[in-house]
Structure formats: C-alpha cells, structure tokens
Structure 1
C-alpha cells in the first residue's frame, strides 16, 4: 500500500466546494481533515489580478488542458475545456461573475424528490457564504467569507448596452441575486474585493491553513477510492513518483468537479460495469449514472465593430499589457484591477418560460477561442450562453490510467430546441445592437456577419462556432432515479462513507454562472456531513 496514514475526513479536490469543506469541517478541532489537490499553490499574480484570467485561459498554466471529444453537433470540432488545476480550482481561473441561479432552478431540484434543496432551503447557505458590499437586500449575505462586489456601470459601451436593452423592451434589474425573476438588464456582481480575485482558496482555505487539524497536500493525484465491504475506507494517491495510501476514519468526500469526480469513481470501479471492463477496470459497484447527465452552458458571441477607439483592444497589446501588469503589481490599480465586464442581461427567447433561457454579457473587445485569439480592431460583443439546455452528454474514462484525460462529450444540440434557442438569441443580440443607444458606436457586424441572415444560415454558423462556457455539471446527479449517483444527503447510492460535494451533483444546471451555486453546495454539504440542519441555520441567520 506504500506510505500509509489516516485522518477523519479526506477531501479530494481543492476547488470551489473543496475549499469550503476544508474550512467548515476543520473548524471543529476534534476533526482531522486532509485536503488533496492535484494542482499546485495559487501563487501566480495572474490568479489574484482580476484581469489575469485572460492570460490564464491563453496559457493553460493552471488547468488540466482538457479538450472535448469530437462533437457531431458541431461539425466534428473539439472544444477547449479549461478546468482549474490549482488551489481554488476553477474559482482561481474563471471570470469571477457571481450569479446564484434562478430560484426556480432549486425548486425544480426539490420537485425531483431532493428534500432540502428548494430555493428557501438553499438561501441560508448562499447568505452564509457571502460578504456582499452592495446595497442591502434580505437575500444577500453580509458576514460570509466570500467577498462579492457590484461592478459600476461606467464604460460608454456598458451604458449604451443598458439603455439599448431597455429600448429593446427589457426591464432594469438592479440585483440578479435577489431571488426575484432574473429577467432584465443591470449591473454585474463579481467575486472581487479590494481589486483582487476572491477565489474559494482565498475566501475559505487561506483562513484555515494555520489549523493544526487541517493538512493540505498539493500535486497529489488521487488514483483510486478504496472500498471494503461496501464502505469507502480511504484513497490512494501519487505525489511525484511516490505512492501513498490515506485512510478515512469517517468519510471520503469527492469534490473534484464535474469531470474529475466521475472519473475517480469510474477508476475506482464504481459505474457502468460494461464500460469499466472495456477499459480494464474491475467493477466493484454497479452505478450506471456515473458520468452521465453532463450539462453545460453552450456559448456564442455576436461581434460588432466600434466606430470610436474606446474598446479594450489596445490594452491587449504586449507593451500596454506589460504596463498594466506593472501598475497592478505596484499599486493594485489600473485596467488590470477589474474583470472587464460591467453589465449583463437575462432574457426569455419565447413567452411562457419559467425563467430566462439566455444570459448576455457585454465585452469591450472582440476575441475568439477562450481569449486565445484577440481580434485586431476596435469592437465589442454580446457574449451569451444557453441557460437551460435539454441536451445531455457524458464524462467517461478511456483508460484505467488516472493520468489519462477522460472522454468529455458535451453532445451539444442533440436536442433541436437548444439550437433553436441559441439561434433566436442571435436575433435578440442584433436587435439590441440596432437600438438608438448604440448609434454613436455601431460599426459593421463582424460576426456572424451580414451575410448570415436566414435561420438555416444562423444555425449552421452556430454549429461551426459555438463553444463552451465552462459550466460543466450534473455527472454525479443527485436524485432517486436510475441515473442518480448520490441521494439528497450527497451520499453515493449503495456505498457507505462516500459522498460527492461539487457541481457534479446538480440534477439540472443552474441558470447562471455555476461558481456561486457550487460554493453553496459546499456549505450545505458540510452541514450534511456534520449533522447540522437547514432549519437550525435559518434560525441563527
């Protein structure tokens, strides 16, 4: 078994939920907690500098380097799938947008049979997690570890976007996290404070690092969960060339996210037996839903040339970027001190929907390929995502080697309604850009371009150019049906001592950026593990 040690709780993955768990479980000094992270420390200035996420996306220096399988619905293209491999996980890599999701998302989880996961059940955990610096609102938290800030709408293009959206017919929405209907246009909330990123590692892990009962091991690749007589008893992991075994006296908790949690279960023999045997893994527990139910927010952007030299395009030039970096390093100020977004909108593409199905962000430059290609002219774009996709994909291992990436199959546009909704979103974006508020700035349309007019042309363009917004979820689904992997206590069905606590447990992806909801899952999961209850939390809030 190699080097053997023991602890009470093993947490696999120091991402958005894992850092929350490490903090909350180790708050009791009698609990010995070990947190294992495949990546390294979060020391890079590009992590903590808000605008640094463009550099992180371009270089891939703190992610797993994943790409999807060829996508039949996208003309056989492989998509870039950045996933954080560092303390803080993807919360150290993302664009820092803080959106909890629509209240109906969580009520739907409860309607599916998941007790304790309605919006009213989850709200106390959102509040407990958050330290919001904006206007008072009973739905918002004031004393939590995760600092969130409301971006001011000051850029001329952002002001034009808000006004144009209202001219289009959208209401103004001053708080997308209030629990009210998301529809409307308004300011963006971000996990930023004091001109720095607030990842889960900064908010939750760093304050707990001095606790003697918390051990954090980085560059530790977990290869297998150890199961004996129907109970998870520990894990095996590798650091460098050295193999280790750590035993859990209480629980093993997977928090690796929607890719790595199902991958580890499958490597451990937990999943579809036929699929496991096909890649050389001996099945130990038949749980066919592991890796199924993958959901994501497909993304696209409508790009517009700008007639005034006010876009962020010059800031991407090497010299200007170096100056911004130096200014931030010296003074924590300047262009690099923000995430480059100020306003966003949620819209319904058709009447009768329970919640908006499209989310728009106005970007002050035009780029492609996760920011790895900046378009070399002044422009702006409406970047948008499909909020409630009906297509479902999968995460399946292709080898019994934990170092080999699993097969990521988004299966975009399996359901035609997803393509139709994204097509209609192109039309809405064009109509917003056509409003009088954009008259001082509107040049020609860069993309899809004036030649892409008909429904069929737009759909073909989407198949050739849509991409991921990196909100992977659902692959260890919470529920009671045949595809469910965990119950509403986040315990893996049919096994003792094993839970999954991350975005993979979402039965359906939330309507918005997934980081806030994943942190909430970490908060609620910690209470489930410790035996606390939502009602008690609500009374003390």
Structure 2
C-alpha cells in the first residue's frame, strides 16, 4: 500500500518550508510530489487519514467506502428549490489521495472546447487551451494499450480498459449502435462521441490514486513531510504576504511557515479557507465578523457540478454484477481478490459508457451515460437484490451555477453548499432529451428481449411535465464540484492565469475550484492535468 513508513514530523513555527500544500487530494498530492522531486522542501497537510485501507486499493472497494463514510466529509446541500426543496448529500473526500482514492476511477479527459473555454477566460495572460493541457495529460498517464498524441505510456498513473465486459454491457453497446451512436474505443482521443469501454485509472487489480502514484515513491524522502488529520483553519499574513497556515492536528493547535502556500483543499473547502482568512465577499465576511484582507467577491461563487439522473431496468437473466457485494458472494469475491487479484472485486464494475447529443447524434456530445450492470435506484446507493442495469446520465456542460458560503466562523463547520442543480431550464431540457434517447436504446433489438419493462422512471412517465418531475425527484450529485475559485483575466476572478490569488502574495489555489467551466465528464483527470500544469508555472516563476 502507499502508507508512509516514516513517522510524521512535528511541525513548529521554527521550521520554514519552501511550500506548504494544504490538501493531499488529486491535485495536492501531485503538486507536493513534483515540487519535492524538483528539490523543494514541502509540508503536505491533509485533514483525513492515510490510505491504508484495503478497500481504497481494491478497485471495487469504493462502493463500500462511499457507504461507510470514514473517508468523507458528510456535507449536504442547502434545500434545492428546483428539487422541490429537498437537500441532497454533497460529500467530499478526505484522506491521502482525496477523491482519487474514493472515486469510481473513470479516466475522462473531456472535449477540446472545455479547455479552450479556459483559454478564453484568461485571454492573453496565460496558456490553458486544450493544446496547452494535452502534454500534461500525456505526462501523468501510463496507458496500458495506447501511446499516441493523446495518450502517454510512461507517467505515474496507470490507465487501462476493463479486463472483461459482462454480457449485459456488451448487449448495451450493441443497442446504442443500433440506435445510431457509433462505437468509439477511445473517447479520450480525437473524438469523444460514441459508445464503448470505460478507461479507468486502475491496473493489475489496483487503484492508481494520486497518493499511490505520486506520494508512495517519496515515502522516505526527507524533503516531504506529510501530516494527516491536519485541518487547516486559516492563513497567516505579514502585510499582503501569506507566510504560513494555522491548523489543528488531533486537537492540538499548530502553525507552519513557508515561502509559498498552495491551497488544494478542493472546490468545497478551498474557498472556505480563503473566506475564514479574510479573502472573499466583503459583505458576507463583515456579517460574520471576519476582518477583511482582500475583497474578492467571487470566492465561493461559480459552483458547478454534474447532477446525475438514472434510468433503471431489470434484466430477465442473472446478468451483471448480481448480488456480488452482499452475503457469501461478497466474502467469496473478497477472498478471490486477495488470493488471485481476480474476480468482480478486481474491477470497478463500470465497464462501458456513452457520450452523445440526443438532439443530433452527429454533433458534439452533451450527455454522458454510464451503464452500471446493477440496479442502483434513484439515490445510486445500495444495489437492489435483482439483476439489471442502471444508466447514469449527466448534462456535461451545465449552465446552472451555485455557491459555497461560510455557515459561521468555526473552521470545523460544514460550509453552506448550493449547487443549484437544474436551475437553468436548458439543463432540464437536455437531461429530459437524454432520458428519451436512453429509452430508444433500451427498445433496440440487442436489449429488447434481455430486459423487462423499465422500472425507473417507469413507462407511465411519458409526458414532458412527468419527466421534469422525475428529474426533480431523482437528481443527485456526481461528486464533481468545480469552479469556486475561478481563474480568469478579469479582476473579479479569484486567481490569475498563474493560479495566484489576487490581492495577496505567495498564495495559489491548485485544485478543481480554479476551473472557469466544468469539463465534459469526470473531473479527476482534468484536475490532475491542471495540477501538473501548475507545477510548471510554480517552478518557472521561482516559487
């Protein structure tokens, strides 16, 4: 495992580091490791624990981890007006590797227009286009089969195709083709559009998280000091210069100092630390009694997330991963994994996916759909005890925007999180159109005799108003929050094109919160690519 062998150092005000990285997730672990490899002395602070659990490294273990909650912040949204006033879980990962240690490992680059949108946001002040980011995707990746202009073969993160495709998923791929969507073996290549196998960051039955790939090789490097269970409360200032952080570790208050501080606490927590430190919307900070350091009105604004809406259909035969995670079969599969690194536990269970525009199948995709060979229900929680398939569908470029705000001045309090899912009518129109297309797929010959009539939303849900009501009842997070410390060339942007926080010195934000717009698909790979880009910026600018 990637657990460090060296003892964790005690940090005192007398020790000064070159860098403090607050957060050891997808971005923070990569940034800390690359800076250390460049010769810097780095303190890496992580609010969660070490990644020593077998379930983290077992590809199928993420489902149990998400249910258990040990490695999660148990956040919830504010009541969502467009979901009939209901709140939804909005969990965030904690522990070494962050989301890369707990997610479903789907490796998705997105579309060139995503990053060209980033470039438009920074204008002439930076280089964040798809062409600029592509070398970083190649640098971090070690694809097991592909090595070309879109894929790397020698990076730390192993990326692979599923070891096998179960019959239900194979039939689903054929059904999409019968419904007019082409087969695409590489959605991370020249064109995202199509249906085909998922690419995942696991290999040889092991998850490749940022902690395993980047921190583990440096476990004995004296220039890297890792402290887990270390919650950053706020920044330390000397005038307009950030000199360190105040944090607590196992109930003990601590301070640490560095030449530069890098916030990598994620889209829900990086803005929280900034606001607790006096960087944020002036009126909100004043109302909480927080002394203002920098008026930055968009700290916590621009929250974007992928909201998922499922279609669930029972299978006529015991296909898919039917009851593989319960009872004696769970024990059997666990023993098979430990003994042979084989069986259902050696994969994620997510084997195929599709990217399509239901309004025009020849156009750039607007919908992503995962085809999970189990009945997961509206909450996508515990699988139902029947064989079947759940199509998990998201609008990839949502227009809806939300926010993260402080609840109070307690650094351990959960923030107020309002993703504002489906507040823009165009997002609702797109997801309803996507649901209708999924129904076309289910009706194709490849699936017609394989599946029973639709369970959810149900064949009686046909009219536009009924489908919109179903979206309200079934939508939940895909766990892809971004955008709350937006990058841009305008003065309202939280960070500039070098990811430096405006109005202060020696402070950057490097995580998914800096994305001006969300990417088309899962956000882990883009977050790691932007972190790789950030390292180049930091090193070229002398820290």
Structure 2 length-normalised TM: 0.95
Q: 1:174 aligns with which of 180, 185, 188?
A: 185
Where do 1:105-124 residues align within 5 Å? 105-114=114-123, 115-124=126-135
Where do 1:169-248 residues align within 5 Å? 169-178=180-189, 180-248=190-258
1:126 counterpart residue number: 137
Where do 1:141-540 residues align within 5 Å? 141-152=152-163, 154-178=165-189, 180-248=190-258, 250-351=259-360, 355-368=364-377, 371-531=380-540
Q: Distance in 2 between matches of 1:370 and 1:330?
A: 33
1:85 counterpart residue number: 94
SS in 2 for 1:107: helix
Contact 2:115 2:130 in 1 (8 A): yes
Q: Distance in 1 between matches of 2:316 and 2:12?
A: 65
Number of residues of Structure 1 aligned to a counterpart in Structure 2:
530
Deviation larger for 341-350 or 498-507: 341-350
Q: Distance in 2 between matches of 1:491 and 1:319?
A: 53
SS in 2 for 1:373: coil
Which ranges in structure 1 are unaligned for 5 or more consecutive residues? 534-541
Q: Distance in 1 between matches of 2:71 and 2:523?
A: 19
Deviation string 1:240-279 (CA, Å, 9 cap, x unpaired) is 221111111x210000110110010011110001111222
Cα deviation, residue 476, structure 1 = 0.4
Q: Distance in 2 between matches of 1:300 and 1:411?
A: 15
Deviation larger for 285-294 or 480-489: 480-489
Cα deviation, residue 353, structure 1 = 9.5
Contact 1:153 1:159 in 2 (8 A): no
Q: Distance in 1 between matches of 2:69 and 2:385?
A: 22
Q: Distance in 2 between matches of 1:209 and 1:370?
A: 38
- The verdict on how the C-alpha distance between 1:2 and 1:129 changes in structure 2, with shifts beyond 3 A counting, is closer
Q: Distance in 1 between matches of 2:494 and 2:43?
A: 24
- The verdict on how the C-alpha distance between 1:3 and 1:80 changes in structure 2, with shifts beyond 3 A counting, is same
Find out whether 1:16 has 2:26 as its counterpart.
Answer: yes
Q: Distance in 2 between matches of 1:253 and 1:355?
A: 35
2:72 counterpart residue number: 63
- The verdict on how the C-alpha distance between 1:153 and 1:324 changes in structure 2, with shifts beyond 3 A counting, is closer
Cα deviation, residue 354, structure 1 = 7.0
Contact 1:183 1:347 in 2 (8 A): yes
Cα deviation, residue 113, structure 1 = 2.7
- The verdict on how the C-alpha distance between 1:369 and 1:280 changes in structure 2, with shifts beyond 3 A counting, is farther
2:5 counterpart residue number: none
SS in 1 for 2:160: strand
Contact 2:122 2:496 in 1 (8 A): no
Q: Distance in 2 between matches of 1:101 and 1:218?
A: 32
Q: Distance in 2 between matches of 1:291 and 1:330?
A: 47
- The verdict on how the C-alpha distance between 1:493 and 1:174 changes in structure 2, with shifts beyond 3 A counting, is same
Q: 1:26 aligns with which of 33, 36, 59?
A: 36
Cα deviation, residue 109, structure 1 = 1.1
SS in 2 for 1:425: helix
Give the CA RMSD over aligned residues: 1.7
Cα deviation, residue 483, structure 1 = 3.8
Q: Distance in 2 between matches of 1:353 and 1:471?
A: 27
- The verdict on how the C-alpha distance between 1:352 and 1:110 changes in structure 2, with shifts beyond 3 A counting, is farther
Contact 2:12 2:256 in 1 (8 A): no
Contact 2:309 2:394 in 1 (8 A): yes
Deviation string 1:368-418 (CA, Å, 9 cap, x unpaired) is 365433222221111111100001000111111110000110111211001
- The verdict on how the C-alpha distance between 1:348 and 1:207 changes in structure 2, with shifts beyond 3 A counting, is same
Deviation string 1:104-149 (CA, Å, 9 cap, x unpaired) is 1111111223421001100111111010001333210011111111
Contact 1:255 1:261 in 2 (8 A): yes
Contact 2:166 2:320 in 1 (8 A): no
Contact 1:58 1:371 in 2 (8 A): no
Contact 2:163 2:347 in 1 (8 A): no
SS in 1 for 2:72: coil
